[in-house]
């Protein structure tokens, strides 16, 4: 078994920040999960629907791997990404990095991983790989999925080769912290304002505060829209609270990031943003509860209440981001 030394295989709540934490702790940069998420300007919202989907997707973060790219750019990290259509080359890329003493991040489809508790296709899943032998690979996944786990090389290859929404072509990556990298604390304000700017001025109506408002308009139709309401609505609610989001569709993580920032920065707009996102997190959890209730009871009144909350959340989060934009 080839194993990278000095790995702390600590799984956290979200897959991409769990992986980033493993890679950066190996480089002696230990940041909390909310700080990693916030420094990557990770918060967002997307309402995604198509005829091929059983139920609309409600997402609370930037698209897969954009979080990693954002963090590397903001902190001046050396991000080395490799992609290929060849499974053999893809595995050689991983082995070369591990043999050189570096843990590797992998983007793959979680459906094929042996340890994964929910057998659904998700091509934007990210894990850290830090060891291997002829049969198995050692991974770090979220704490919900077991933290330090292992999977067979065949299942890992299938997960990396899967094609579909949010997948990448055998993507692997490493992170290095240059000696002249800026202090993470000096990058708090740029990360906050970049996130606020993107949220306030989304390119399409499905994203940011406009996306939340759209979800509020359409929520009363979800019982009719779902293929199987008793299955699809509770599943959507579960993903919002338990699907690697840290709770409240990533709002808990962003609230905790702002709280950590407020301990370092004396800023009235920051404190106001923290207050508003504390309220937003509580409301999002209630929205998930109502979506779950609607699916279990078939009663539209729960979606009517969720719709009202969502419209209010659109205004609340827009107000919060306008304040956070003034942190600079």
H-helix segments, 111-264:
153-161, 188-200, 208-218, 222-225, 229-242, 251-262
Q: What percentage of the chain reaches a pLDDT higher than 90?
A: 94
Q: How far apart are CA 98 and CA 91, in angstroms?
A: 11
Average pLDDT, the chain: 96
Q: What is the DSSP string of 273-291?
A: HHHHHHHHHHHHHHHHHHH
Query: Could you tell me the fold of the domain covering 184-324?
Result: 1.20.120
* pLDDT at 121 exceeding the cut of 90: no
**Domain at 2-30+78-176: CATH code:** 3.90.70
pLDDT, one tens digit per residue, over 31-63 is: 999 999 999 999 999 999 998 899 999 999 999
Q: What is the pTM (predicted TM-score) of this model?
A: 0.96
CA angle 59, 9, 2 (to 5 degrees): 120
What is the average per-residue pLDDT within 98-125? Answer: 93
Q: How far apart are CA 266 and CA 326, in angstroms?
A: 13
Q: What is the DSSP string of 63-81?
A: PTTHHHHHHHHHHT-EEEE
Q: Report residue 116's pLDDT band, with 50, 70 and 90 as the boundaries.
A: confident
Tokens of 96: 């070369």
pLDDT, one tens digit per residue, over 56-82 is: 999 999 999 999 999 999 999 999 999
pLDDT, one tens digit per residue, over 147-163 is: 999 999 999 999 999 99
pLDDT the model gives residue 328: 77
**H/E stretch holding 201:** none
Shortest CA distance to 22 belongs to which of 158, 149, 118? 149
How is the chain split into domains, by residue range?
A: 2-30+78-176, 184-324
């Amino acid at each position: 078994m080839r194993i990278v030394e000095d790995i702390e295989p600590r799984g956290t709540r979200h897959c991409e920040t769990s992986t980033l934490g493993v890679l950066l702790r190996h480089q002696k940069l230990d940041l909390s999960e909310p700080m990693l998420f916030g420094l990557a300007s990770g918060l967002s919202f997307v309402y995604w629907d198509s005829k091929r989907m059983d139920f609309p997707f409600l997402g609370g973060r930037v698209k897969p791997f954009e979080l990693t790219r954002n963090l590397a750019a903001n902190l001046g990290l050396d991000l080395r990404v490799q992609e290929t259509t060849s499974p053999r080359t893809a595995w050689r890329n991983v082995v070369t990095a591990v043999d050189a003493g570096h843990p590797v991040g992998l983007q793959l489809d979680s459906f094929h991983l042996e340890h994964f508790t929910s057998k659904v296709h998700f091509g934007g899943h990210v894990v850290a790989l830090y060891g291997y032998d002829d049969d198995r690979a050692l991974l770090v996944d979220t704490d919900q999925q077991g933290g330090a786990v292992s999977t067979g090389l065949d299942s890992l290859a299938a997960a990396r080769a899967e094609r579909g929404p949010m997948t990448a072509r055998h993507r692997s990556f490493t992170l290095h912290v240059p000696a002249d990298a800026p202090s993470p604390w000096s990058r708090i304000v740029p990360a906050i304002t970049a996130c606020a700017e993107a949220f306030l001025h989304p390119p399409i109506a499905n994203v940011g505060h406009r996306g939340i408002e759209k979800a509020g308009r359409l929520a009363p139709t979800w019982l009719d829209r779902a293929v199987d309401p008793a299955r699809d609505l509770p599943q959507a609610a579960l993903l919002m609270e338990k699907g690697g989001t840290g709770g409240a569709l990533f709002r808990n993580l962003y609230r905790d990031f702002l709280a950590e920032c407020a301990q370092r920065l004396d800023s009235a707009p920051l404190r106001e943003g923290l207050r508003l996102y504390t309220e937003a997190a509580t409301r999002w959890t209630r929205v998930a509860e109502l979506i779950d209730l609607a699916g279990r009871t078939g009663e539209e009144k729960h979606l009517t209440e969720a719709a009202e909350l969502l419209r209010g959340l659109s205004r609340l989060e827009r107000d919060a981001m306008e304040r956070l934009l003034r942190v600079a």
